[in-house]
Chain A
């Protein structure tokens, strides 16, 4: 295993702001990354996650705020003095160099001797499992392989922080999940503090120590993946991460009444009155219902989507459509066309910000 001289450094962003041409890309981002931690910045395009990363890299200058590496203020330093490793979404590799030359390039810029360059670049390629491809050029490598070489190149210089800008977005779905785990394995082995930018929530939740959900230049929630998913702090997070049902109900006294079921609220200060509750499909369960009296939570199954271990059942309640996610064995008891009764588990729910009409199937 490589000596990890640059690993395990705390990275702190303090109130970073960046705007250009009248557009505010980043509106006061503050975040502290523990040494060796992998933090994913997750959000839709335009939310500022890439801008944040580029500010950390030094490729752009912040309007205000500070970036600190291990207590040292690097805000004023240009990119080539910051010692960061970067992997880009596409076109990572220099096309006129072999894989090994690519990896060794950073070392040569750091005045490492030729023999040492060869040794270290060999080790890095070994780390990402591409030793056999050392003499291949970028156009002779698959997308996934190119990104692995890019990772090796970024880590070869033992950077203070590793920055990954949507490294998997340009790859095939199959390659994506494999490479995702690969990146995490390497990152854990080397121990470099890492910032991973993505718009794919599955990626973020799968590999990060903590996930920061961003929207319109602000950080909405920074938490472990489990917390992000099951305890979203804002409606945006709830709707961006995972599927959500929007069910109309009425807010009263610290809880919301949804079709006869009372659900506790996440935000206790929600004003009373009509509102749309955000309910996770996993919180919805089904029971068979014969020809009994129609009720607010009785409907017909219109579709069952087999997802492997779980299945997603779409139920038409007449005026709205609700998704339920259950183990496949249970779902198979309620094929399309059967009438079912829904039950909603009383997890705390969030209320959607704007009133929207429930969507018809």
Chain B
């Protein structure tokens, strides 16, 4: 360890040296960070938690929590969950196949680098820009819409698909697949060729390999990543906000409605309760992901 008790050492004003004293002076070094995070992360979280259980006047109550039980809110949770599960599964399956396709290629090749870079961009490509991309594609006068119409298929026959659940699922899948690639690829990379070769030398076929070796090894990672995708979709706001200007079919939209509406201002606790619910759901999912990742990294370092 560096020499404590060396008063001759010069230092910048921002970080007092511990010197030789027994006071917890080194702790001063992390105080700025703790203060900042405390103020802008922990305090808002506390506000949410606290506000979920208080009335507008400040007295404790469970009304806000109970308020979640209203029909339209419950429906929003169901829809959010549906979209999240569906896009997570689609993203997971196709993303896993893409990861396998990439991992079996040249590890230092240009192609792999392009695919992973593009995935980095596309996973990030959510929100407004993605919404507009899909409007350009299957919106009212989107190019695919027009193309299909000229061939006799009218996808707008039963309302605008883009602004309904099915449309949202497709749009969400657009960033779920690249995300799956990014999170799942390390696990696929961790599959050693020796395991395949060992299976073969012991007399196993491709089916045996996937059934008894690669499958079980990748299962925790796959499940964990799917959970991550779920949390990702559940938390998503910007894309839906850009597509759906009215209505609150998913929970994030409900929260934003409460933000901007009169009813919201008269019931500040409700928005907080919804926020708290979201935080809890995402936290649980991420904790599960963490536990699964631990096993994965033990096997597939």
- CB–CB under 8 A between A and B in the complex? yes
Binding site for B on A (CB under 8 A): 57-59, 78-86, 88, 90-92, 94-96, 105-106, 109-110, 139, 153-154, 157, 159, 163
Task: Say whether A95 contacts B204, CB under 8 Å.
Answer: no
Name the one of B194, B199, B202, B299 contacting A96, with C-beta atoms under 8 angstroms.
B299
Chain B residues whose C-beta falls within 8 Å of the C-beta of A105 in the assembled complex: 199, 202, 212
What number of A-B contacts does a CB cutoff of 8 Å give?
Answer: 70
If A109-B199, A139-B298 are given as contacts, then 14 extra A-B residue pairs at C-beta distance below 8 Å, sorted by A number, are A57-B197, A57-B201, A59-B201, A79-B197, A80-B199, A80-B203, A88-B198, A91-B192, A91-B194, A92-B198, A94-B195, A95-B299, A105-B199, A105-B202
Chain A residues whose C-beta falls within 8 Å of the C-beta of B299 in the assembled complex: 95-96, 139
A81 vs chain B, min Cβ distance (A)? 8
A39 vs chain B, min Cβ distance (A)? 18
Name the one of B194, B202, B213 contacting A90, with C-beta atoms under 8 angstroms.
B194
Task: Say whether A157 contacts B203, CB under 8 Å.
Answer: yes
Name the one of A58, A95, A139, A153 contacting B202, with C-beta atoms under 8 angstroms.
A153
Q: What is the CA–CA distance of A157 and B300 in the complex, to the nearest angstrom?
A: 26
B74 vs chain A, min Cβ distance (A)? 41
Chain A residues whose C-beta falls within 8 Å of the C-beta of B199 in the assembled complex: 80, 105, 109
Instruction: Tell me which of A80, A83, A86, A157 has the highest count of chain B C-beta atoms within 10 A of its own C-beta.
Output: A80
CB nearest to B205 among chain A residues? A80
Name the one of A59, A90, A95 contacting B197, with C-beta atoms under 8 angstroms.
A59
Task: Say whether A109 contacts B216, CB under 8 Å.
Answer: no
A170 vs chain B, min Cβ distance (A)? 12
Q: What is the CA–CA distance of A179 and B37 in the complex, to the nearest angstrom?
A: 54
Task: Say whether A80 contacts B217, CB under 8 Å.
Answer: no
Knowing A95-B217, A95-B300, the reply to whether A106 touches B202 (Cβ < 8 A) is yes
Task: Say whether B204 contacts A109, CB under 8 Å.
Answer: yes
Within B208-236, which residues are at the interface with A (CB < 8 Å)? 208, 212-213, 216-217
| Interface residues in B, total, Cβ within 8 A | 20
Chain A residues whose C-beta falls within 8 Å of the C-beta of B201 in the assembled complex: 57-59, 79-80, 82, 84-86, 154, 159, 163
Q: What is the CA–CA distance of A153 and B203 in the complex, to the nearest angstrom?
A: 12
Knowing A95-B299, A96-B299, A157-B203, the reply to whether A109 touches B198 (Cβ < 8 A) is no
Chain A residues whose C-beta falls within 8 Å of the C-beta of B213 in the assembled complex: 94, 96
CB nearest to B300 among chain A residues? A95
B154 part of interface (Cβ distance < 8 Å): no
Indicate with 1 or 0, residue by residue over B169-210, a CB within 8 angstroms of chain A CB atoms: 000000000000000000000001011011111111100100
Task: Say whether B194 contacts A88, CB under 8 Å.
Answer: yes
CB nearest to A95 among chain B residues? B299
Knowing A88-B198, A90-B194, A105-B212, the reply to whether A95 touches B203 (Cβ < 8 A) is no
Task: Say whether A79 contacts B194, CB under 8 Å.
Answer: no
Chain B residues whose C-beta falls within 8 Å of the C-beta of A91 in the assembled complex: 192, 194-195
Chain A residues whose C-beta falls within 8 Å of the C-beta of B194 in the assembled complex: 88, 90-92
B196 vs chain A, min Cβ distance (A)? 9
Q: What is the CA–CA distance of A90 and B192 in the complex, to the nearest angstrom?
A: 10
Knowing A79-B200, A88-B198, A105-B212, the reply to whether A96 touches B192 (Cβ < 8 A) is no
Q: What is the CA–CA distance of A82 and B195 in the complex, to the nearest angstrom?
A: 17
Within B259-301, which residues are at the interface with A (CB < 8 Å)? 298-300
Task: Say whether A96 contacts B217, CB under 8 Å.
Answer: yes
Q: What is the CA–CA distance of A59 and B299 in the complex, to the nearest angstrom?
A: 24
Within B68-85, which residues are at the interface with A (CB < 8 Å)? none
A147 vs chain B, min Cβ distance (A)? 12
Chain B residues whose C-beta falls within 8 Å of the C-beta of A90 in the assembled complex: 194
Q: What is the CA–CA distance of A82 and B199 in the complex, to the nearest angstrom?
A: 12
Q: What is the CA–CA distance of A255 and B261 in the complex, to the nearest angstrom?
A: 106
Q: What is the CA–CA distance of A154 and B202 in the complex, to the nearest angstrom?
A: 7
- 28 CB-based A-B contacts, threshold 8 Å: A58-B201, A79-B197, A79-B200, A79-B201, A80-B200, A80-B201, A82-B201, A83-B203, A86-B198, A88-B194, A88-B197, A88-B198, A91-B194, A92-B198, A95-B299, A95-B300, A96-B213, A96-B217, A96-B299, A105-B199, A106-B202, A109-B202, A109-B208, A110-B202, A153-B198, A153-B202, A157-B202, A157-B203
